[in-house]
Amino acid sequence: MPHDRIHHWIHAIYPPQDARWLEDAVRARVRTFQARHPLQRPPRPLGQLLTYQDAILITYGDQFQQPGQPHLRTLAQFLDAHLRQVMDGVHILPFFPYSSDDGFSVIDYKQVDPALGDWDDIWRLEQRGYRLMFDAVINHISRQSRWFQGFLRGEAPYRDYFIVVDPHTDLAQVVRPRALPLLTPVETAEGVKYVWTTFSEDQIDLNYANPRVALEIIDVLLFYVEKGAQIIRLDAIAYLWKEIGTSCIHLPQTHAMVKLWRAILDETAPDVLLITETNVPHQENISYFGDYLPETGKTDEAQLVYNFTLAPLTLHAFLSGDATKLARWAATLTAPAGATFFNFIASHDGIGVRPAEGILSTQEMQALVDRTLAHGGQVGYKANPDGSRSVYELNITLYDFLNDAARPDPSVDVPRFLASQSILLALAGVPGIYVHSLFGSRNCDACYRATGRARSLNREKFDLATLEALLADPHSHQSQVFAGYRHMLAVRREHPAFHPLAQQRILELHPAVFAVERLAPDGSERILCLTNVSAQPQTLALPPGRWRDLLGEVAAHSGQITLPGYGVAWLRG
């Protein structure tokens, strides 16, 4: 029962006196929440909470802009006009007041950035029927936050909200996602102190060893539920707990904390889903599903995890014209009962390459780097314990990785890009679609020059009128990509074989063709999704049966099929 799990995980994390205090405080928060929001129905299994019609747009709150209107209202306007019939979910990247990193250095967890709008604008999106994903950026907080300013002044309770370390401490074992100093000196009322900063000097890590910090964050999570969050994204969660003398990544206390949050949500809002964001090798990533609990038929940690390995393997497939490594990895994908993957190929961050470690060779990894640099992108690095650095992410739009902006050819570029998205949409799980993928956005060199940050290449914002003019022009590649993407999404949401929990089977029909067969949970249909990752036409034998192409690009077939270069077919048997 969630009640028992709350007790168990609090006492697993904290010493007895702290645990008793925190448990009493959490119980009080739970009772207050339940009094305000009594459950209207019994908890539902994940197979009912998610459907084959689910697809989630990843977007900034100010992605679409027009004069004289709050950005969140412009976002709602674009969604209603162009995506209501094909997408039901929206992940609004951090929409809180912030000081850096395009929102990921949060000043106040409980306020909407006034430049975007207010909580009423968030509420209106929910009322329009969109499933909302909120970011919980809770590994760290802005140095401009009230909490950190209180720490600088030496005020209770904030003086213990952050991690202070002697700069002479040996921290060589700490796994770093950035090639930046781990400790940042700050001037406080008590002199200079060195605080832990995993990501930047403006993003100060929180001290979860202090149970008061844990309670603050539980308040934040319950507040997000009250404000309409149906999915809560745990940003950078792998680094949450610090223990000097360890790697400070994936520590048992981190997993225990996520399990505690899951138990609290199961007690108060069981239909709200947790999703973990951990840009790490695959086996480490899927550890955040947690343990399967037979008595509940669910896992006890995140219901969804970001499928980070999909992006670099998809890029490798198109770069090499060979889907073999992608297919053999995909054949191993299994989520425990009551959980599934959040599939994505592009996001607001760079394309992480660490998740492909052990799958792609050093030479294949370097080929991804070389293509990124040749096509106008940048490369981000992480620091290693031995003082060296290694590639962490590729900073480039997905469209420009696949297609050379110096030699554009929409007749090839658009099909190649849409073929990459076919792989994303075909796999079991919930598809997460970065807004720039809808339009085949190019690198924003002006954005990069303005900020000096490589990730800005992939974070351009749109003037709504300018974008809609491009979408209205059938000759623009943006219009062609958008039309093709909408078509795939519309077809996908008509077929239960694409349910996130539906069975899938990876078929090796041809090295250049990624083939995945999906079977509806009730057995009513099977769909074979074929994607040619090469520029050459490919003829391949089909499994027995009479097949009809749902996308309408290839006629019905039996026996064999020929896919054009970068051709896609979704065949219903």
What is the distance of C-alpha 243 from the center of its chain? 26
* 240 contacts 250 by C-beta, under 8 angstroms: no
Distance of alpha carbon 460 from alpha carbon 435, whole angstroms: 10
CA-based nearest residue to 91, from 100, 106, 79: 79
Phi, psi angles (nearest 5°) of residue 538: -130, 130
Q: Based on the residue annotation, tell me whether 400 is a catalytic residue of this protein.
A: no
DSSP letter string, 553-568: SS--BSSEEEEPTT-E
Residue type, 44: R
Catalytic residue among 62, 113, 121, 235: 235
What ranges make up the beta strands (E) of 348-434?
351-352, 378-383, 389-395, 430-434
Distance of alpha carbon 265 from alpha carbon 546, whole angstroms: 46
Phi, psi angles (nearest 5°) of residue 89: -125, 150
Give, in order, the Cα–Cα distances in Å from 109 to each of 66, 95, 223: 26, 9, 9
Cα-Cα end-to-end distance for the chain: 43
* 237 contacts 250 by C-beta, under 8 angstroms: no
Q: Which helix (H) or strand (E) holds 488?
A: helix 477-492
* 500 contacts 54 by C-beta, under 8 angstroms: yes
Counting every residue written for the chain, the total comes to 573
Whole-angstrom Cα Rg for the chain: 24
Q: Tokens 């605080």 belong to which residue?
A: 195
Residue type, 565: G
Phi, psi angles (nearest 5°) of residue 344: -150, 155
DSSP 59: E
In degrees, rounded to 5, the angle at the alpha carbon of residue 69 between the alpha carbons of residues 67 and 70 is 125
Give, in order, the Cα–Cα distances in Å from 484 to each of 128, 493, 553: 25, 15, 11
Q: Is 27 left (phi over 0), alpha (psi -120 to 50) or beta?
A: alpha
Tell me how crowded residue 101 is: count the other CB atoms within 10 A of its CB.
18
3-state secondary structure of 517: strand
- Point out the residues that are catalytic: 235
